[in-house]
């Protein structure tokens, strides 16, 4: 997925619309987030999450790196359709390409307006630039 066509959350998740007419999207973590985390060793996403509607900003799982565990947040409200089983068994693959094969969940977007309010790539670059200055 082209980073310029994605939307970004302040929690460092990206979302990319796959099918506009069906409001299907992939969600993953940004390159910045995976770089900050370091070596990713485990993704904890409950299999029972499939079919669940989760509000934007709520946690859908955790990601564990060698030195830390971080929550994974829904960038927008959505119904979980699928988890990336390849990543569940090999979470380190997020480092290979966090924007293509590194998607974590596939969702049905519930409120398109929430998607439209997320940051563009340019806005996200500015955001992480400011965050690095702190």
Nearest to 58 by CA among 66, 49, 47: 49
The DSSP line for 50-78 is TT-EE-TTSEEEEEEESS-EEEEE-SS-E
Q: What pLDDT, on a 0 to 100 scale, did the predictor assign at position 3?
A: 75
Alpha helices in 78-120 (DSSP H): 85-89, 112-117
pLDDT in tens, 71-121: 999 999 999 999 999 998 899 888 888 888 899 999 999 999 999 999 999
Q: What is the CATH number of the domain that holds 96?
A: 2.40.50.100
pLDDT in tens, 22-59: 899 999 999 999 999 999 999 999 989 999 999 999 99
Using the structure block, give the residue that is written with the tokens 């519930």. 110
Region 16-20: mean pLDDT is 82
Please state, for a pLDDT cut of 70, what percent of the chain lies above it. 96
Provide the residue range defining the domain that includes 76: 3-132
Q: How many domains does the chain have?
A: 1
Q: Which pair of tokens denotes residue 106? A: 């596939």
């Amino acid at each position: 997925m082209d980073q310029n066509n994605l939307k970004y959350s302040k929690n460092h998740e990206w979302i990319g619309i796959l099918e506009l007419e069906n409001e299907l999207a992939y969600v993953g973590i940004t390159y910045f987030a995976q770089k900050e985390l370091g070596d990713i060793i485990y993704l904890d996403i409950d299999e029972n999450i499939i079919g669940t509607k989760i509000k934007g900003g709520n946690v859908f799982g955790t990601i564990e790196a060698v030195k830390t565990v971080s929550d994974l947040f829904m960038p927008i409200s959505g119904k979980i359709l699928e988890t990336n089983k390849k990543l569940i068994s090999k979470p380190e693959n997020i480092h290979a390409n966090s924007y293509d094969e590194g998607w974590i969940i596939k969702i049905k977007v519930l409120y398109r307006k929430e998607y439209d309010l997320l940051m563009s790539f340019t806005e996200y670059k500015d955001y992480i630039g400011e965050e690095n200055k702190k």
